[in-house]
Structure 1
């Protein structure tokens, strides 16, 4: 059964004459984005992929590899240049995304993630399903909702695509972006493997050739009192790596580092942002950490396009044997990628890391805390 509020779009609410957000979106005082010290803008690492993946063993390539390892260990994210996608192409994707969310409500409802019972095999009841246009899943009356709408699509493997949810305005661009961004993902994954002293296919072999790839187009409407809400609640990503194409006009993404929220700067000149996900944290046995991040709302609209790269469902997530030893025992239990992925929506709705929600960490290891500020990149076992 679908929660009654599942059909309410934030964009429609924001278009009304609101003095403040409805109570379903308002965070308790201690969880509001302005609680504690004000965020400052982070100076995040930038990796030039042309240097990083240079076949020649040059000093510049070595320096870029060192920067990559430092970025993954101390930040869990970095900006990338030299990825091969023209700025004009990325601008076109952002523009098409904005245009989709500006369509009349009836035009967008054709792609709704609330489906009729006949489609869901659920009698006369309607059901929520992950793909499609709408808001994230609502489980309870008490759940505080995020100030955003989204279009969520599986783009790879191609055989798993549900094209009925693909708007024509985005279809051709998404096809091309899927191919280009996966090339970026594979190059980065190979570089991460080499950085640990392994061959280029070390992690690629563990996730498979037919990775599950999901695209999330997110629209954050203007908010009358943005300090009261989350655009997107604190979380880590269900991915090996995540590639983000961020709004080049309005910021809002923040990372939790050493107990403090830092603003990720607005990226321009065709830069992409890459974030380490839960899966690379598990496979690297905690050498690389998935950072907790969130999105704060604004009095201006904001959009983003995010690509999540996940292992084939039948693969097993586990610390790589080569990274386990007496000085660094296994920090995570073995778990099937499908089981991990199936737990993501439950964990996200509950405001927990999937790793913690599914109790993937080895019990003897010290708990790192919840997502409200007690855990940050920089924390180590």
Structure 2
């Protein structure tokens, strides 16, 4: 199985091309929860600059990772093994160096080009996220802009747009630690610029872990839990994970277009009987923070408003 690759430029093509592209997007959302976009409109020259500044950022941070808890934990396991003790893989820790940026956060000032490059990149991604959501609106039979309006509480709040810059450094014992534990994403639409040389990202499809194949210049899109709810289960958030690599350093830049914390999320706009509760996104995030690596269904149940008891 291969994660779908979609030529996004054909959305602006002739009617037949556009219809085929819309069908491919629908299939990616319904059958996979993941797809890759090529010819998406973000200049390749900008993507190369993003790759460069994020790799330089990691070089500056590398010493810190080597002194981090995952490294110390793995070293302790290896030492115990060498003493003849039985050791088990660590299942509550990720072999990952990360930092987050969003409009209200402090951004790295080194390398000097980082801020300008990432501002430019994030502006392009916002536009791409908007176009992807409009395609979802159309495929779901919703009014144009419906998903974005839901994310903003009908324009009363600003949706959250954050970027996670990750590196998965070489791991001497990939049998003892995960790169990133299996999970679904809490939010809305995730746009990932992944390493185009080093693999390791996998998505769960029909009970089988499948590579999200590295592809130069592509943007990987996946749907989060809130798209599953808004689509009333027609689109599903997909389980995914990252495997550690023994001899490679994998770069990953994931941007999350999420609802505002104050936005109310519900499947009311999609026909078919509401299979999910109505709730405030910030409440869902409170639950997700504690249950990220657990089954998602109890998270939806946890934010369901209790039914009022009938009057006596």
Q: TM-score range by the shorter chain?
A: 0.7 to 0.9
Q: Among residues 183, 191, 208, which one is paired with 2:127 in the alignment? A: 183
Say which SS state the counterpart of residue 216 (structure 1) adopts: strand
Say which SS state the counterpart of residue 61 (structure 1) adopts: helix
For the 8 Å contact 2:284–2:300, the answer to whether it is kept is yes
Q: Hey, what's the Cα distance between the residues in 1 that align with 2:263 and 2:102? A: 18
Q: Hey, what's the Cα distance between the residues in 1 that align with 2:123 and 2:4? A: 25
| 1:251 counterpart = 2:199 | yes
Give RMSD over aligned pairs: 2.4
For the 8 Å contact 1:355–1:361, the answer to whether it is kept is no
Task: Give per-residue Cα distances to partners, 1:21-45, cap 9 Å, x unaligned.
Answer: xxxxxxxxxxxxxxxxxxxxx4121
For the 8 Å contact 2:2–2:210, the answer to whether it is kept is no
Q: How does 1:1-381 map to 2 (within 5 A)?
A: 42-52=1-11, 54=12, 58-103=15-60, 144-155=92-103, 161-163=104-106, 165-169=107-111, 170-208=114-152, 210-268=158-216, 270-299=217-246, 300-319=248-267, 321-324=268-271, 328-348=272-292, 351-357=293-299, 359=301
Say which SS state the counterpart of residue 269 (structure 2) adopts: helix
For the 8 Å contact 1:240–1:279, the answer to whether it is kept is yes
Mark the CA change 1:134 to 1:311 in structure 2 (over 3 Å): closer, same or farther: farther
Q: Hey, what's the Cα distance between the residues in 2 that align with 1:105 and 1:69? A: 40
Q: Hey, what's the Cα distance between the residues in 1 that align with 2:286 and 2:303? A: 17
Say which SS state the counterpart of residue 226 (structure 1) adopts: coil
Q: Hey, what's the Cα distance between the residues in 2 that align with 1:82 and 1:105? A: 33
Task: Give per-residue Cα distances to partners, 1:86-125, cap 9 Å, x unaligned.
Answer: 222112111211111111668x79xxxxxxxxxxxxxxxx
Mark the CA change 1:323 to 1:104 in structure 2 (over 3 Å): closer, same or farther: closer
Mark the CA change 1:104 to 1:153 in structure 2 (over 3 Å): closer, same or farther: closer
Q: Hey, what's the Cα distance between the residues in 2 that align with 1:334 and 1:134? A: 39
For the 8 Å contact 1:334–1:360, the answer to whether it is kept is no
Q: Hey, what's the Cα distance between the residues in 2 that align with 1:190 and 1:134? A: 42
Say which SS state the counterpart of residue 198 (structure 2) adopts: coil
Q: Hey, what's the Cα distance between the residues in 1 that align with 2:184 and 2:191? A: 13
Listed as ranges, the gaps of 5+ residues in structure 1 are: 1-41, 110-132, 136-141, 156-160, 364-381
Q: Displacement of 1:190 after TM fit? A: 0.5
Kindly report structure 1 stretches of 4+ aligned residues shifted beyond 6 Å. Answer: none
Q: Hey, what's the Cα distance between the residues in 2 that align with 1:360 and 1:73? A: 25
Mark the CA change 1:175 to 1:353 in structure 2 (over 3 Å): closer, same or farther: farther
TM-score if structure 1 supplies the norm length? Answer: 0.68
Q: Displacement of 1:343 after TM fit? A: 2.6
Mark the CA change 1:358 to 1:190 in structure 2 (over 3 Å): closer, same or farther: closer
For the 8 Å contact 1:238–1:308, the answer to whether it is kept is no
Say which SS state the counterpart of residue 78 (structure 1) adopts: strand
Mark the CA change 1:171 to 1:72 in structure 2 (over 3 Å): closer, same or farther: same
Q: Displacement of 1:226 after TM fit? A: 1.3
Count of matched residue positions in the alignment of Structure 1 and Structure 2: 277
For the 8 Å contact 1:73–1:289, the answer to whether it is kept is yes
For the 8 Å contact 1:134–1:151, the answer to whether it is kept is no
Q: Displacement of 1:82 after TM fit? A: 2.1
Listed as ranges, the gaps of 5+ residues in structure 2 are: 71-89, 306-312
Q: Displacement of 1:322 after TM fit? A: 3.4
For the 8 Å contact 2:140–2:231, the answer to whether it is kept is no
Q: Hey, what's the Cα distance between the residues in 2 that align with 1:286 and 1:101? A: 38
